[in-house]
Amino acid sequence: MASAAEQLASNLNFGAFAKADELKKRIWFTLGALIIYRLGTYIPLPGMNPDAVADLFKQSQSGVLGLFNMFSGGAVGRLAIFALAIMPYISASIIIQLLSSVVPTFETLKKEGEQGRKILNQYTRYLTLVLAVFQAYGIGVGLQGSGNLVLEPGPFFLLSTTITLVGGTMFLLWLGEQITSRGIGNGTSMIIFSGIIAEFPSQLAQTLELGRQGAISTGLLLLILVMAICVIAFCVFMERAQRRLLINYPKRQVGNRMYEGQTSFLPLKLNTAGVIPPIFASSLLLLPTTIASFSQASGGTGPLSTIATYLAHGRPLFMFLYAALIIFFCFFYTAIVFNPTETADNLKKHGGFMPGIRPGERTAEHIDRVLTRITVLGAGYLTIVCLIPEFMITYAQIPIILLGGTSLLIVVTTTMDTVAQVHGHLLAHQYEGLVKKAKLRGAKR
């Protein structure tokens, strides 16, 4: 068995990729779907004033609009038909996950396997539609009340804007499902990934232009390049890092035959929460800034503007709260997605145990203790990566987000998952080839 695995690994090269027709079809399908998505980010909403939209976004791009614009690949800044992107679906997925840990009915569905997951996915789609309708209508109302953005405000504009934005979100949801089933990688992640990557060239061009103008020295540009490579390598290392807990299975007898005990591992990821904590923290902190920007655009002032000033990018209060919220959501979301008691019960049912620890409650306490410790490291890692662009923008006056933050985390994790899927498809193709060769040899004999 080991020699077969070694042979598969050694034969895994570009020649194998050239022969994997199914994999090439999946990659071409994914690229075609992403091109359709990118084209949609340039189709504007009907009835908008393009110049006024550009001016408003320049004033509000440091708030939630800037965060959403990053995830939508610039569609928010252009108020395109895909301006909502799949953010309603992300919110709905998180809500359903929370309910799966609180509501007994959802918790039961979660434990029912594939059939239960299908029902939960359907509930997620329904909730996505509801959230998209509310958000699209709110955007329409906000656009009508923000100066001269709308050429002909009124009920027809609200209706057309709501239908267009909701239709765009549901189309992207369908497109993401098609990528997942017929393409390569996770469809939702690939759509967000392509949107972020599309904004990288403009960020890089902006930085190079500052170097050409003399605002940034050549040495600093080289330092930025080295730092970007180091941060990416650090993210890859931390995302792959895991703590493995040893699990032993006792000897068992089947009929008259005795089977030896087996040994396996329970892998606990260092960053169990993924990119959810930075997204939540950014949304909560940037919400006052965005509301204050719309208020100022409408001629209003008040305490909200003062709060938004203290929570502006680069301010000490913003950085402190940003780090605190990331750490809080790391522990909170980890507790939601991973249940040590349920894991310990499953090990006990299958006869597994950890050396020196009694099965059941003691095992659950040990898993929880280890998970808490590694979550401290994971929270620190997310905090460092997300604060790097804040320090670079504030203290080094470098307006570039390539050195860290939520965008880089999404790019790294999506790339790693996609490469793993490509590797899996190639291994499956190689294995099928070896099986066919073995059958041909057997037939000749």
259 and 205 belong to one structural domain: no
Q: How many residues does the chain have?
A: 445
272 and 204 belong to one structural domain: no
69 falls within a domain: yes
291 and 184 belong to one structural domain: no
Nearest by Cα to 278 from 71, 34, 5, 12? 71
394 and 254 belong to one structural domain: yes
Q: For 109-151, what is each residue's pLDDT tens digit?
A: 877 777 888 888 899 999 999 988 988 888 787 777 766 777 7
* Residue that finishes a domain, picked among 215, 236, 262: 215
285 falls within a domain: yes
**What b-and-e string marks burial along 199-212, b requiring 16 or more CB atoms within 10 Å of the CB?**
beeeeeeebeebee
437 falls within a domain: no
What domain count does the chain have? 2
65 and 153 belong to one structural domain: yes
84 and 131 belong to one structural domain: yes
Mean pLDDT of 418-426: 82
185 and 229 belong to one structural domain: no
Range of the domain at 35: 21-215
Cα–Cα distances (Å) from 262 to 175, 266, 348, 354, 364, in that order, read 43, 13, 15, 12, 21
301 falls within a domain: yes
Per-residue model confidence (pLDDT) at position 421:
84
249, β-bridge pairs? 262
DSSP secondary structure string for all residues of 228-283: HHHHHHHHHHHHH-EEEEEEEE--EEETTEEEPPEEEEEEEETTTTTTHHHHHHHH
Q: Are 317 and 311 in contact (CB under 8 A)?
A: yes
40 and 73 belong to one structural domain: yes
90 and 133 belong to one structural domain: yes
* Residue that finishes a domain, picked among 199, 215, 231: 215
138 falls within a domain: yes
167 and 116 belong to one structural domain: yes
221 and 183 belong to one structural domain: no
169 and 226 belong to one structural domain: no
Per-residue model confidence (pLDDT) at position 254:
60
189 falls within a domain: yes
Residues with Cβ within 8 Å of 413's Cβ and at least 6 positions away in sequence, in order, are 189, 239, 274, 275
- Output the domain CATH number for residue 406: 1.10.3370.10
150 SS3 class: strand
Q: For 159-214, what is each residue's pLDDT tens digit?
A: 988 999 999 999 999 999 999 888 888 888 888 888 888 877 777 777 777 777 77
318 falls within a domain: yes
445 falls within a domain: no
Mean pLDDT of 51-73: 63
